[in-house]
Chains A and B, each alone.
Chain A
Amino acid sequence: MPLAIEVRGLIHKYGDVTAVNGIDLDVAEGECFGLLGPNGAGKTTTVEILEGLLEPTAGLVRVLGQAWNGNANALRQRLGIALQETTLADRLTVREIVVLFRSFHERGVAPDAVLATVGLVDKKDEWVMKLSGGQKQRLAIACALVGDPDLLFLDEPTTGLDPQARRDLWEVVGNVVRRGKTCVLTTHYMEEAERLCNRVAIVDKGKIIALGTPSELIGRLGGSQVLEFGSTPEMTATTLEGLPGVREARQVLDRWRLTVDAAHEAVPALLERLGQNGAQLTALSTHQASLDDVFVLLTGRTLRGDA
């Protein structure tokens, strides 16, 4: 499979701050690749280097088989980009903006067809300032698609949206991705990456700390379910040792997260152990293991940055 993106040893520094600290990356054509990580992990910097908006401090970058240097115009013709939270223009209509972006590209899709793809046909004569957050993001995606790009970049497409708008947008992006458009997506929502991406790189502090398909990464937890609990007094690694069916135990703030094979077997064992230690349960929840848990496993922190 030919490579849409090839990155070796990428480093980017803003003054003394190293935002990207040695990233290697291959994205194949037709793939939807996710860069997943908390705010400030270096995702946006990485993507802006790939988009030709930033010069890397060091490292090799090839996009669609070409280096940016000397090929910028040809490459820009072939890329579609939706930046994080861009407000394009308040007093232009949706259609006027898409027509404007269409005019920049030599080839492309009819503006009305793109508006149909993102579900904005009935808003096409509305001023941008009257759109909701979700509709503005759809417009940003329409502008990215109207040049019929060979490679699509979506930087945090659903950040700041309410859950319903987020799900609607996933459907729009999912439709585009399923048609085989190569796509690089950054997000700090695990669910977004699990739903949309074939492959995910988990980025933290400027480095890739895990790479694989969502199911591979979740498989690394060794269990399929996660049991989260709090107690007084708090349990320790020693007092929890040897619990049956527990693959992995990690403390995040005042809670323990246990990766288990089967919650229905682990819960009674846990309760018994709490009783033996004279501890009272203050909180208990279980959920299907997700990329969130992978991040916690790898970093000891949650993606929302509350640790």
Chain B
Amino acid sequence: MKKLINSPENVVRETLEGMALANPELIRVHYDPTFVYRADSPVRNKVAIISGGGSGHEPMHCGFVGKGMLDAACPGEVFTSPTPDQMLEAAKAVHGGEGVLFIVKNYSGDVMNFEMATELVHAEGIRVTNALIDDDVAVKDSLYTQGRRGVGTTVLAEKICGAAAEKGYSLRRLADLAMRVSSNGRSMGVALSSCTVPARGSPTFKLGEDEIEVGIGIHGEPGRERKPFMPAEKIAELLTLSIIEDPPYKRKTRIWDVDSATWIERDIIDPPFAEGERVLAFVNGMGGTPPAELYIVYRTVAEVCLRKGLKIVRNLIGSYMTSLEMQGCSITLLRMDEELIELWDAPAHTPALRWGV
């Protein structure tokens, strides 16, 4: 295994040390429990937005800490959820008097750790709620699964909600916005290679020379279906059409109700895309795919959207939600409206995303 690391045990720590050294005006890092937080924390009179997840997806989430995006991010071990103590300390460090919103990807580990964290933060007397992102359309049979995974739309939600928090949205309004973004975004990914977790030392799954793994998550787990290798046009068309033609998606989601301070179940239905709608198209690299290839994929995404009557009003192309060195990409389409466009365009100043400043 050849990686630009020192020892596997220190990967997470050394990544954060490097990030902190590179961005002293933007972020600070707290260790044990570990979280990255805005250098100007706590920012008063706005809701604090916190996310987190396994390491190995950089820049998500720690690279998105800063003005206009996250107040704090909690990194777990590689591909492993962070633990409730991290989220609790982060919440105490960054809340500015208007409560805390946890943005959580729908993986059972993340969900459970953030649920426990929500209960702990509430017990501290801090107003808190969580918003679940579950946008991955690859899961066909939700009878047998935990529902859809949270993937590309997470990045978009962090930007949009970050901007909304800066504008002074209340906790309740922000939670609704996050759920709305999740409901209007759909994603699907493909892997051309596996990846190697440093502590493990070998690839997480075997992929033949002529094979691709369709419907991957982001933790190096095998996907939904193995297919023979195809050119970028065919792959991009398969992913984009799966997203655009995905039927309405209904499920029950467990949310923390701020007022009653209990867990409640809410029915959510994601409407399908329709001709004439405006979208943001996000082509994301999984870490090992060169930028040129992402543009080749985007070329087809744009063509398919045009053909299906969807107008791309914004785009994001790059490796923002990676799986270590995995070769592959994911595509996300997010239905846009005036509010979302304005929030997307609002300034952000984080290590990985910066515009308007």
B is bound to A: no
A residues neighboring B (CB under 8 Å): none
